[in-house]
Structure 1
Amino acid sequence: MQEQNYLIELTTRVVEAYVEGNQVDHEAIPALIRETYTALAGLGKDAKPAEEAKPERAVTARKSLANPDQILSMIDGKPYKTLKRHISNHGFTPESYRETFGLSANYPMVAPSYSARRSEMAKRIGLGNTKGQKSKRATKAEATA
C-alpha cells in the first residue's frame, strides 16, 4: 500500500512537471498519467542486467604501434605520444584499457621514440645516479673540456 501511494506521488510529480513545461492536450493527460505510472511501477522489476558491450577497436594493435613517434588510440584512432591522460579522460586505467581491448600486459602507454628522448634527457641531467656520483657522460664531458 505504501509503495502504491509512493508511486502515485511520483507519477503526480512527473506528470505535473511535464505538463508545466510542455503544451499537452487535456484529452491526452489520462493516457500520460497511465503510461507514467506503468513506467514507474515497472522500474527495477525483472530487470535483466545489460551486457557490457566491448567497445570496438578503432585500429589494430599492430597498426597502433606501427609508427615509433606515436601510438594510435584504440578508442578513437588518433595519434598520441603518451596515452595515459587520454585513456583516463575516457574512464580507463592502463590495466583496464589493456584488458578491454585485449592487449598484452606489456603493451606500451608511451611512444617508443618519445620514451627514448625522455630517457636520454634524464641521463644527460644526471637523474638516476646515486647522490654525489656523476654520470659517465658528465665525466667524459669534463675530461674533454
Structure 2
Amino acid sequence: MGPVCAGCAHTLIERANMTTPNSKSELLSTIVASYAARPDVGSDDIVALVAKLRRELGLGDAAVAAAQPEAPVTGGLTPALPVSRAVTPDKVFCLCCGKGFKMLKRHLGAEHGMTEAEYRAAFGLSEDMPLVAPSYSQRKANYARKVGFGRYSRDAARQGDETVS
C-alpha cells in the first residue's frame, strides 16, 4: 500500500465499517504503518492520524492497544545500536547497519537507498541530530574560517566597481 491520502483513507474506512473489529485493527495498523514510512511525517502527525482513525473506525482502547505493536511509529526499522551511542566525536554510526563514518549521506544513499530525511523519519530522529562527525565538521569549519570562506574584501569589491566605470 502506498502513502495514505485523505481520499484513500476514507475509502478504506468505509470498507472497514462492514468488517469485524479484528480486521479494523489490522486496517488501522496497515494505514498507520504506511503513513509512518513517509519521510515527511512527524510523530505528532502519526498520533493525530491514529486518533482520527480510532474515531472513524469506532475502535475502543483495547483494540487500539492490540494494534499498536504491529504499527511502530519508527516506520518498522530497528536500530542496529542505541541512538544515544550513534554519535561520537570522530564518527557517526549508521543505525541501519552499525558501521561508523565521518559523514552518513553518501552511505545512506548508496547502501540503503535512503535520503537524510527518510533516515531521520525511519528512526524518529530530530533535525538537530548530526549526520556528520562533530570533529570532522569542526575541522572543516575552522579551515573555512582560515581561508576566509564566506567573506569578501570591501577593497576588492570597490576596485571591481572602479574598473567597470
TM-score range, shorter chain: 0.5 to 0.7
1:126 and 2:126 correspond: no
Indicate whether 1:98 and 2:105 are aligned. no
Distance 2:83 2:103 in 1: 15
CA distance in 1 between counterparts of 2:147 and 2:154 reads 12
Question: Which protein is richer in helix relative to its size?
Answer: 2
Which amino acid in structure 1 is aligned with residue 141 of structure 2?
A: S
Correspondence for 1:54 among 72, 76, 92: 76
Structure 2 residue 105 is the aligned partner of structure 1 residue 84: yes
5+ residue gaps, structure 2, are 1-26, 35-74, 156-165
Give the CA deviation at 1:87: 0.7
| Root mean square deviation, CA, Å | 2.3
Question: Which residue in 1 is equivalent to 2:92?
Answer: 71
Any runs of at least 4 consecutive aligned residues in structure 1 with deviations exceeding 6 A, and if so which?
none
TM-score (norm 2): 0.47
Deviations 1:28-65 (A, max 9, x none): xxxxxxxxxxxxxxxxxxxx98x667222101111111
Of 133, 147, 161, which aligns to 1:111?
Answer: 133
Distance 2:83 2:124 in 1: 9
Partner secondary structure for residue 99 of structure 1: helix
Give CA deviations for 1:84-143 in whole Å, capped at 9, x if unaligned. 0011111111111000011112111101000000000111111011x2159xxxxxxxxx
Looking at structure 1, the residues matched to 81 and 154 of structure 2 have their Cα atoms a distance apart, in angstroms, of 45
Which has the larger Rg? 1
Percent of counterpart pairs with the same letter? 36
* 1:138 equivalent in structure 2: none
Distance 1:93 1:105 in 2: 13
Q: Specify every segment of 5 or more residues in structure 1 that has no aligned partner in the other structure, as ranges.
A: 1-47, 135-145
Question: In 1, distance between residues paired with 2:154 and 2:131?
Answer: 31
Counting matched residue pairs gives 85
Within 1, Cα distance between the matches of 2:139 and 2:76?
Answer: 35
SS in 1 for 2:96: coil
